[in-house]
Structure 1
Amino acid sequence: MQQVDDFLSLIDSYIGSAGWFPFALLGVGLFFTIYLKFPQIRFFGFALKVVKGKFDSKDDEGDTSHFQALTTALSGTVGTGNIAGVALALHLGGPAALFWMLVTAGIGMCTKFVEVTLSHKYREKAQDGTMAGGPMYYMKNADFMLSGKKVNMKWLAIIFAIATVLSAFGTGSLPQINSISTSIQATFGIELWITGAILAVLLGIVIIGGIKRIAAITEKLVPAMALIYFIGCFAVILANLENLLPALVAIVGDIFTGSAAAGGFLGGTIWYAFDRGVNRGLFSNEAGQGSAPIAHASAKAHEPVSEGMVAILEPFIDTIIICTITGLTLLSSGVWNEKHQNVFQAADMEILAGTNFTDETDEGVKALAEHIGGVNELELFNGPLDVQAGKITTAATVIHARSLAEDVVVKNDIDEPFTGIIMVENGRPVDSDETFEGLSLVHSAPLTALAFTKGFFGEYGKYIVSIGLLLFAFSTAISWSYYGDRAMTFLWGSGSVKYFRIVYVVAFFLASFQDTTIIWTLSGITIALMTLPNLLGLFWLRKEMKSTIADYWKGFKKEFPDVKTPE
């Protein structure tokens, strides 16, 4: 599994985690923000009226209402990114990472507006009578002009559709169930595969009904799960109110300085906070990825711009509201930089040669931080690692979750202290069934669960996280199954959807007991494979987007002459 993760990390380093990727994402969004004169601000209030159905027509074609399309899209974005993703961003980049998540969301509100408008404009009716849309349809049907001649961009549409199918697994199926199962196991002690099996059956039952059943479920599920989660968050924030102001200061104060080492946290650089904040922000709200337009294509609307306005609300709800509350919960609780007892995941662990390492001095922190950051790597352990009654007797030091592990105990496959030799190559155990446990930093969903125990509900708070994560992540898996089947419809017709659904449900089950880090890495790759073709297509059609908005307001004034417009 380690070799798989190393291979995936190498691929991801050239795309999703590459230095240019966040600039490409934010650059396109910032361009449209200026080019279209800040539509995310000008049209925000009007969007609220649209989503209420104030300007609907009974003759509008589509399968869902504006609100149902919004909740379906939100159910696809409000998931592990809001619970596990925020915790991972803070773990990697420190408090400033949350600031960059919010910046990404603010710019992403405009990107969502553009991609949904263009995708809705070029949607089609599928063979089964349902509406089919998304970036692959505007790539196929729009007039892409180059030197005065139309260019066929169907090849780009095919690339995007294939990437969407892959991302349905990498974003919607695999990381969602993995976060659910690990959280449920940590909270209730239920085996990973049992959680996976039960939810896989429920997922299959829901997605067989198609978009109408999905929309009917998500319009009730999204508001309910948000309410439950908010109650848990504010129970922590209010119980630790004295830490709220320092948390806000850290989020803003660390933007241009990086986050200093604190507790088990070895510090975060300015660049890493920016990179991880943008990366996790994209994973959370998916602005520019091209997923939400697929859900919005089903909405009953005769004007694509009106549905684009509805999409403006998504990043605001998903990231600016929910992710901010999650971040403040984590920071005010204080658990984000504390070491906690946990079982080490192989992909998060390294073994260093020697024992002269410490995180209690400035020099020791600097050496460890530079090693983890790849600036000045320390010597990795190679050779036989001697373990007696669970304790490592060889001169070696364990790094786990970007922190110096303490009180490390090695156990065998029946959960008893191990005695024997473990072969290690380049700091990684080789062909070993033994597990390492001890004190280290925690990230992703388990970190958020720990934070919820620091509120008014005490230890019961972690149950809210488990329930919230279950609802959030399960709804995301439902929505992404729809995104995948629309991509399959585009590529191979409606008949291929049933085969996709079978594979989707099986993969959902299998991912419930796989390594978390590998799944997050895979997710980063699939996000990038969708985002890049979509950003290229959006920028190419910038002039058409501007003219489409102008035409919308002309038609709107004729239909509703007494309504004041924010054009």
Structure 2
Amino acid sequence: MMEFKLLIETIGNILWNNYTLYAVLLTGVVFTLWSGFSQYYALTHGVKVTRGDFDKQDDPGAITHFQALSTALSATVGLGNIGGVALAISLGGPGAVFWMWVVGFLGMAVKLTEVSLAMIHRDTSDSDNPSGGPMWVVERNLSNKGPVLKYIGKLIAGVFCIALIVNTITAGNMFQAWNVADLTQTYFGVPTMVTGLILAIIVGAVIIGGIKRIGAVASKLVPFMLILYVLACIFVLLINIESIPKMLALIVTSAFSPLESSNAFLGGTAGYAFMYGMQRALFSNEAGQGSSAIAHSAAKTDEPIREGVVAGLEPFIDTIVVCTMSALVILVTGIWNRPGELIAEEVNFSQAPESSSWVLSTTSKNVDDLQQGQRVYMIYEGTLNLETGNNLNKIYGTTLTTNQNSVIEWETINVTQTPVINNRFIYLDYVGATLTAAAFDKALPGLGKWLVTLASWLFAISTMISWSYYGEKGVVFLVGEKWVILYKVGFCALAVLATTGFIETDAELNMFANLGTGLCIIANLPIIWLFGYQAMKEYKIYITKLKRGEFNTNN
């Protein structure tokens, strides 16, 4: 298993090199300028389209603009907003939030471009189940350009579909299930596998009904969960309002300069703030991945650009609004750099004979207060940590009961020099959504336990049902409808697998999420660059007509 995880980590490091991040930023800048800052029309005209001002019942498609946006948002507004933001801050520091903002703003133009392309080239031969996405864009553009380019088109489309399916499995499924299972076990002691089974049953019941049922469920679930979560964030921010200016300043300054370690936070370089902020924002709002274009392709409209403008709203809602609120809740409550929950009275590192393995032993009061199987960590000084720029590292442990006494069993670490404990604090290992929940609990005891758990369940279910549809379209494009049932069964089974202890730490969770996201971005960016001019041409024509008042509304 360790070899498999090492392979995934290696692939992720290759995918997420600096050139990938620069390419994403460059794509956003180019299409922002090319479209004349289309963000403006997304926030104005896009709102009018979403509320149904331009809906026509006889337009081609299966679901309304609002249902399409809700379906796409249900995939983007998920555990990425609760757990992903927490991961970005815990690994990259507050500066990661700044880069999430940058990606959110530029992503609005990227999302408009990729969705417009998908709408231009979508297949509406089956009116109840239209198909679209990057695979259709590249195949239809190259299918009539001769046998060689036709083959290349099919190859590129196939590569994207494979990347899409991997992304569906990792980011759209396992990341969601793991976060919910971990949170539910932390607060209610429910075995993680039980949570996985419940999620699989609920998601399976919805995805059997296809895009119309998914759209109907999403259009009711998304507004409710968004309002509920945002109201809770506003409450926490109001009672900590005096800390907001300071935290906003910290977000900006630490985006460009290293941040020193502070209690639970190991410290971080500006480079890793940039990387983790970019990764988590792209994971959360999906700009550049091409996935949400699949949901929007089912929208009822005879104007492809109209749905593209609606899609531009997603990164704004997802990243600039919801992710920012989650981030500020984590920062103003101080949960990200909290002191340890326990203090070790005795600490001792012992070295195994003739090896570089070290075993930690500790004694501490109040270990009995922790749940059986609770993961904790201490901070030690050892080898250089490239992610933080210092020599601080985490050593993890798990609580267990021996002879009716609770103790912490620490993992073995392999370092060449003698490790030294940095401080005597023992920290609870809050990973992803659990860290966000702890922030709410710190503001008002019980708020995180009940609200964040409920929101996480709703977010996870909505995200998983939407991503299952994306993966389904990839399967159909590759091998046809006959494999869809097997795919849906496998999708639900993988939700259970994610909750069986397969993923353990925040770094591993981040690693698996990055795999799918990175593959989709690498596969989709060339498609945007090759054919994005078509979307820009149609966009400018559409905006000219809009300014002339050529479109009739229902009002």
- Please tell me whether the aligned partners of residues 207 and 214 of structure 1 are also in contact (alpha carbons under 8 angstroms): yes
How far residue 173 of structure 1 moved from its aligned partner, in angstroms, is 0.9
- Please tell me whether the aligned partners of residues 390 and 411 of structure 1 are also in contact (alpha carbons under 8 angstroms): no
* Partner residue, 1:45: 44
Of 529, 532, 544, the residue aligned with 1:542 is 532
How far residue 492 of structure 1 moved from its aligned partner, in angstroms, is 1.4
Is the alpha carbon distance of 1:506 and 1:447 closer, same or farther for their aligned partners in structure 2, counting shifts above 3 Å? Answer: same
- Please tell me whether the aligned partners of residues 405 and 439 of structure 1 are also in contact (alpha carbons under 8 angstroms): no
Is the alpha carbon distance of 1:46 and 1:516 closer, same or farther for their aligned partners in structure 2, counting shifts above 3 Å? Answer: farther
Is the alpha carbon distance of 1:552 and 1:220 closer, same or farther for their aligned partners in structure 2, counting shifts above 3 Å? Answer: same
Asked if residue 467 in structure 1 is aligned to residue 441 in structure 2, the reply is: no
* Partner residue, 1:85: 84
* More divergent stretch after superposition (163-172 vs 35-44): 35-44
* Partner residue, 1:323: 323
Of 484, 497, 513, the residue aligned with 1:523 is 513
Is the alpha carbon distance of 1:174 and 1:40 closer, same or farther for their aligned partners in structure 2, counting shifts above 3 Å? Answer: same
How far residue 547 of structure 1 moved from its aligned partner, in angstroms, is 1.9
* Partner residue, 1:138: 137
How far residue 64 of structure 1 moved from its aligned partner, in angstroms, is 0.4
* Partner residue, 2:300: 300
**Aligned-partner residue type, residue 448 of structure 1:** T
1:120-519, aligned counterparts within 5 Å? 120-125=119-124, 129-143=128-142, 152-341=152-341, 382-383=356-357, 385=359, 399=380, 411=400, 417=406, 424=412, 426=414, 438-439=426-427, 442-455=430-443, 457-514=444-501, 515-517=503-505, 518-519=508-509
**Aligned-partner residue type, residue 7 of structure 2:** F
* Partner residue, 2:55: 56
Q: Distance in 2 between matches of 1:451 and 1:215?
A: 32
- Please tell me whether the aligned partners of residues 78 and 456 of structure 2 are also in contact (alpha carbons under 8 angstroms): yes
- Please tell me whether the aligned partners of residues 305 and 542 of structure 2 are also in contact (alpha carbons under 8 angstroms): yes
Q: Secondary structure of the equivalent of 1:473?
A: helix
**Aligned-partner residue type, residue 495 of structure 2:** F
Q: Secondary structure of the equivalent of 2:427?
A: strand
**Aligned-partner residue type, residue 21 of structure 2:** P
Q: Secondary structure of the equivalent of 1:385?
A: strand
How far residue 384 of structure 1 moved from its aligned partner, in angstroms, is 6.7
**Aligned-partner residue type, residue 529 of structure 2:** F
Q: Secondary structure of the equivalent of 1:439?
A: strand
**Aligned-partner residue type, residue 529 of structure 1:** L
Is the alpha carbon distance of 1:487 and 1:114 closer, same or farther for their aligned partners in structure 2, counting shifts above 3 Å? Answer: same
- Please tell me whether the aligned partners of residues 348 and 360 of structure 2 are also in contact (alpha carbons under 8 angstroms): no
CA offsets, 1:33-69, max 9 Å, x none?
A: 1122211124431111111222233321111000000
Q: Distance in 2 between matches of 1:386 and 1:324?
A: 38
Q: Secondary structure of the equivalent of 1:58?
A: coil
* More divergent stretch after superposition (22-31 vs 497-506): 22-31
How far residue 235 of structure 1 moved from its aligned partner, in angstroms, is 2.4
Q: Distance in 2 between matches of 1:119 and 1:536?
A: 14
CA offsets, 1:360-392, max 9 Å, x none?
A: xxxxxxxxxxxxxxxxxxxx983473758899x
Q: Distance in 1 between matches of 2:364 and 2:355?
A: 18
- Please tell me whether the aligned partners of residues 41 and 309 of structure 2 are also in contact (alpha carbons under 8 angstroms): no
Aligned length: 515
- Please tell me whether the aligned partners of residues 29 and 108 of structure 1 are also in contact (alpha carbons under 8 angstroms): yes
- Please tell me whether the aligned partners of residues 93 and 277 of structure 1 are also in contact (alpha carbons under 8 angstroms): yes
Structure 1, unaligned runs of 5 or more: 343-350, 356-379, 429-436
How far residue 252 of structure 1 moved from its aligned partner, in angstroms, is 1.7
- Please tell me whether the aligned partners of residues 408 and 439 of structure 1 are also in contact (alpha carbons under 8 angstroms): no
How far residue 255 of structure 1 moved from its aligned partner, in angstroms, is 2.6
CA offsets, 1:134-192, max 9 Å, x none?
A: 11100110259999x96642211110011111111111110101000100111111111
- Please tell me whether the aligned partners of residues 90 and 98 of structure 1 are also in contact (alpha carbons under 8 angstroms): yes
Is the alpha carbon distance of 1:244 and 1:521 closer, same or farther for their aligned partners in structure 2, counting shifts above 3 Å? Answer: same
Asked if residue 533 in structure 1 is aligned to residue 523 in structure 2, the reply is: yes
Q: Distance in 2 between matches of 1:480 and 1:352?
A: 47
* Partner residue, 2:542: 552
**Aligned-partner residue type, residue 486 of structure 1:** K
- Please tell me whether the aligned partners of residues 360 and 412 of structure 2 are also in contact (alpha carbons under 8 angstroms): no
CA offsets, 1:433-466, max 9 Å, x none?
A: xxxx9426634111101100122x3234321111
Q: Secondary structure of the equivalent of 2:44?
A: helix
Q: Secondary structure of the equivalent of 2:312?
A: helix
Q: Secondary structure of the equivalent of 2:512?
A: helix
Is the alpha carbon distance of 1:417 and 1:52 closer, same or farther for their aligned partners in structure 2, counting shifts above 3 Å? Answer: closer
Q: Distance in 1 between matches of 2:99 and 2:445?
A: 31
CA offsets, 1:296-323, max 9 Å, x none?
A: 0000011110000000100000010000
- RMSD over equivalenced CA pairs, Å: 3.4
CA offsets, 1:444-503, max 9 Å, x none?
A: 111101100122x32343211111111111110010010011111111112221110010
How far residue 339 of structure 1 moved from its aligned partner, in angstroms, is 4.0
* Partner residue, 2:68: 69
- Please tell me whether the aligned partners of residues 299 and 307 of structure 1 are also in contact (alpha carbons under 8 angstroms): yes
Is the alpha carbon distance of 1:81 and 1:561 closer, same or farther for their aligned partners in structure 2, counting shifts above 3 Å? Answer: closer
CA offsets, 1:187-233, max 9 Å, x none?
A: 11111111111121111111101111111111010011112212221
- Please tell me whether the aligned partners of residues 63 and 131 of structure 1 are also in contact (alpha carbons under 8 angstroms): yes
Q: Distance in 2 between matches of 1:526 and 1:300?
A: 29
Q: Distance in 1 between matches of 2:396 and 2:513?
A: 32
Is the alpha carbon distance of 1:405 and 1:135 closer, same or farther for their aligned partners in structure 2, counting shifts above 3 Å? Answer: closer
Q: Distance in 1 between matches of 2:492 and 2:462?
A: 14
Q: Secondary structure of the equivalent of 1:24?
A: helix
Is the alpha carbon distance of 1:415 and 1:202 closer, same or farther for their aligned partners in structure 2, counting shifts above 3 Å? Answer: farther
> TM-score w.r.t. structure 2 length?
0.85
- Please tell me whether the aligned partners of residues 410 and 418 of structure 1 are also in contact (alpha carbons under 8 angstroms): yes
- Please tell me whether the aligned partners of residues 264 and 337 of structure 2 are also in contact (alpha carbons under 8 angstroms): yes
